[in-house]
Amino acid sequence: MSKVILVTGAGRGLGTDIAREALTAGHRVVATGRRPEEVEKALGGPRDNLLVTRLDVTSLEEAEAAAQAAVDRFGRIDVLINNAGNLFTGYFEEISPAQMRRQFETNLFGPMNVTRAVLPVLRKQRAGHIVTITSTAGLVGMEFTSAYAASKFAEEGWMESLRHDIEPYGIHTTIVEPGYFRTELLVDGSTHWPELSIDDYAPRTAPRIEGMRSMNGRQPGDPAKLARALLTIVGQDKPLPRFVAGADAIEAAEAKAKELFSQAEASRALGAGLAYDDSHV
**Structure confidence at residue 206 as a pLDDT band (50, 70, 90):** confident
Per-domain boundaries in the chain: 4-264
* Residue that wins the pLDDT comparison between 219 and 179: 179
* C-beta of residue 252 within 8 angstroms of C-beta of residue 179: yes
C-alpha 85, offset from chain centre = 7
Is 276 an active-site residue? no
Q: What is the pLDDT of residue 189?
A: 56
Q: What backbone phi and psi angles, to 5 degrees, belong to 117?
A: -75, -35
Across the chain, mean pLDDT equals 92
Looking at the predicted structure, is the pLDDT value of residue 43 above 70?
A: yes
Q: pLDDT tens digits for 78-119?
A: 999 999 999 999 999 999 999 999 999 999 999 999 999 999
Q: What is the pLDDT of residue 188?
A: 57
Q: pLDDT tens digits for 134-174?
A: 999 999 999 999 999 999 999 999 999 999 999 999 999 99
Among the listed residues 189, 203, 95, 211, the one whose alpha carbon sits nearest the alpha carbon of residue 150: 95
Q: What is the pLDDT of residue 7?
A: 98
Of these residues, 91, 148, 201, 276, which one is catalytic? 148
Q: Tell me how far apart the alpha carbons of residues 113 and 110 are, in angstroms, rounded to a whole number.
A: 5
* C-beta of residue 114 within 8 angstroms of C-beta of residue 217: no
- Domain boundaries 4-264, CATH class: alpha beta
**Structure confidence at residue 197 as a pLDDT band (50, 70, 90):** confident
Q: Give strand ranges (E) for the chain.
A: 4-7, 28-33, 50-54, 79-82, 87-88, 128-133, 171-178, 191-192, 242-245
| Cβ neighbours of 237 (radius 10 Å) | 5
Q: What is the pLDDT of residue 173?
A: 98
**Structure confidence at residue 180 as a pLDDT band (50, 70, 90):** confident
Q: What backbone phi and psi angles, to 5 degrees, belong to 158?
A: -60, -45
